[in-house]
Structure 1
Amino acid sequence: MEFSTNVLVTGGSGFIGSHLVCDLVNKHPDWRIINLDMLDYCCSPRSLESVEDKLNYTFIRGDVCDQCLVAHIFDTESVDIVFHLAAKTHVEASFLSPSTFQRVNVEGTRVLLRAAHQARRRPRRFVYVSTDEVYGSSRGQVFDEDSPIRPSNPYSATKAAAEYLVRSYWDEYKFPVIVARCNNVYGPRQFTEKVIPRFLSLLQENNKCTIHGTVPKSRHFLFVDDAVGAFLTILEKGSVGEVYNVGEGCEVHIVQLATQLVKMVKNVPDAELKHWLEFVPDRPCVELRYPISSEKLRQLGWRAQVSWAEGVRQTVKWYDNNRDFWPIPSSLKMPEP
Structure 2
Amino acid sequence: MSSLPDYAPKSVLVTGGAGSVCILERRRCGERHSSAPLLARKSGFSLKHAVKTPGDITSSDLVTYVLKEEKIDTIMHFAAQTHVDNSFGNSFQFTHNNIYGTHVLLEAAKCCDTIRRFVHVSTDEVYGEGEDFETDPMTEEHILEPTNPYAATKAGAEFLAKSYRRSFKLPLIITRGNNVYGPHQYPEKLVPKFTNQLLRGRPVTLHGDGSNTRNFLYVEDVASAFDIILHKGKLGEIYNIGGQNELPNIAVAEALIKELGLDAQKEALVTFVGDRAFNDLRYTISTDKLAALGWREETTWEDGLKKTVEWYRKYTNRYGNIDAALVAHPRQGLKQDAP
Could you say which residue in structure 1 is the equivalent of 2:198? 203
The C-alpha deviation readout for 1:195-221, integer Å capped at 9, x for no partner, is 000001000110000001116211001
Question: What is the distance in 2 between the residues matched to 1:57 and 1:91?
Answer: 31
* More off after superposition, 67-76 vs 310-319: 67-76
Could you say which residue in structure 2 is the equivalent of 1:168? 163
State percent identity of aligned pairs.
38
Tell me how far 1:104 sits from its aligned partner: 0.2
Give the conservation status (yes or no) of the 8 Å contact 1:145–1:245.
yes
Give the conservation status (yes or no) of the 8 Å contact 1:9–1:85.
yes
2:76 corresponds to 1:83: yes
Question: What is the distance in 1 between the residues matched to 2:309 and 2:219?
Answer: 14
Compared with structure 1, are the counterparts of its residues 250 and 50 closer, same or farther at alpha carbon in structure 2 (3 Å cutoff)? closer
2:243 corresponds to 1:248: yes
User: Which of 117, 120, 123 does residue 128 from structure 1 map onto?
Assistant: 120
Compared with structure 1, are the counterparts of its residues 336 and 62 closer, same or farther at alpha carbon in structure 2 (3 Å cutoff)? closer
Could you say which residue in structure 1 is the equivalent of 2:212? 217
Could you say which residue in structure 2 is the equivalent of 1:290? 283
User: Which of 26, 36, 42 does residue 23 from structure 2 map onto?
Assistant: 36
Tell me how far 1:293 sits from its aligned partner: 0.8
SS state at 2:302 partner: helix
2:48 corresponds to 1:57: yes
Question: What is the distance in 1 between the residues matched to 2:152 and 2:9?
Answer: 37
The C-alpha deviation readout for 1:69-93, integer Å capped at 9, x for no partner, is 1111122211011000010001011
Paired residues, number = 312
Compared with structure 1, are the counterparts of its residues 275 and 138 closer, same or farther at alpha carbon in structure 2 (3 Å cutoff)? farther
Tell me how far 1:38 sits from its aligned partner: 1.6
SS state at 2:263 partner: coil
Could you say which residue in structure 1 is the equivalent of 2:5? none
TM-score in terms of structure 1 length: 0.87
- Please tell me the residue identity of whatever aligns with 1:265: L
How does 1:1-337 map onto structure 2 within 5 Å?
A: 5-13=10-18, 18=19, 21=20, 34-40=21-27, 42=29, 44-45=31-32, 47=34, 56-60=47-51, 61-119=54-112, 121-141=113-133, 142-214=137-209, 216-269=211-264, 272-331=265-324, 332-335=326-329
Could you say which residue in structure 1 is the equivalent of 2:334? none
Question: What is the distance in 2 between the residues matched to 1:139 and 1:191?
Answer: 31
- Please tell me the residue identity of whatever aligns with 2:212: K
Compared with structure 1, are the counterparts of its residues 37 and 285 closer, same or farther at alpha carbon in structure 2 (3 Å cutoff)? same
Could you say which residue in structure 1 is the equivalent of 2:337? none
Give the conservation status (yes or no) of the 8 Å contact 1:66–1:111.
yes
Give the conservation status (yes or no) of the 8 Å contact 2:210–2:250.
no
SS state at 2:236 partner: coil
Tell me how far 1:41 sits from its aligned partner: 5.3
Structure with more of its chain in strand, by fraction: 1
* More off after superposition, 202-211 vs 35-44: 35-44
Compared with structure 1, are the counterparts of its residues 123 and 284 closer, same or farther at alpha carbon in structure 2 (3 Å cutoff)? same
SS state at 1:302 partner: coil
The C-alpha deviation readout for 1:290-316, integer Å capped at 9, x for no partner, is 111101100010111211111111001
The C-alpha deviation readout for 1:97-127, integer Å capped at 9, x for no partner, is 11100000000000001001101x3311100
- Please tell me the residue identity of whatever aligns with 1:322: Y
Give the conservation status (yes or no) of the 8 Å contact 2:213–2:281.
yes
Question: What is the distance in 1 between the residues matched to 2:218 and 2:29?
Answer: 18
SS state at 2:194 partner: helix
Question: What is the distance in 1 between the residues matched to 2:9 and 2:248?
Answer: 45
Over aligned residues, Cα RMSD in angstroms?
2.2
- Please tell me the residue identity of whatever aligns with 1:167: K
Give the conservation status (yes or no) of the 8 Å contact 2:31–2:185.
no
TM-score in terms of structure 2 length: 0.87
Question: What is the distance in 2 between the residues matched to 1:268 and 1:318?
Answer: 20
Give the conservation status (yes or no) of the 8 Å contact 1:249–1:292.
no
Name structure 2 gaps, 5 residues minimum.
1-7, 39-44, 332-339
Question: What is the distance in 1 between the residues matched to 2:106 and 2:60?
Answer: 11
Tell me how far 1:42 sits from its aligned partner: 4.1
Question: What is the distance in 1 between the residues matched to 2:83 and 2:47?
Answer: 31
SS state at 2:221 partner: helix
Question: What is the distance in 1 between the residues matched to 2:59 and 2:186?
Answer: 25
- Please tell me the residue identity of whatever aligns with 1:310: D
Could you say which residue in structure 1 is the equivalent of 2:41? none
Compared with structure 1, are the counterparts of its residues 246 and 43 closer, same or farther at alpha carbon in structure 2 (3 Å cutoff)? closer
Compared with structure 1, are the counterparts of its residues 110 and 49 closer, same or farther at alpha carbon in structure 2 (3 Å cutoff)? closer
- Please tell me the residue identity of whatever aligns with 1:250: N
SS state at 1:219 partner: strand
The C-alpha deviation readout for 1:174-198, integer Å capped at 9, x for no partner, is 2110001000000000000000000
SS state at 2:205 partner: strand
Give the conservation status (yes or no) of the 8 Å contact 1:179–1:244.
yes
Could you say which residue in structure 2 is the equivalent of 1:26? none
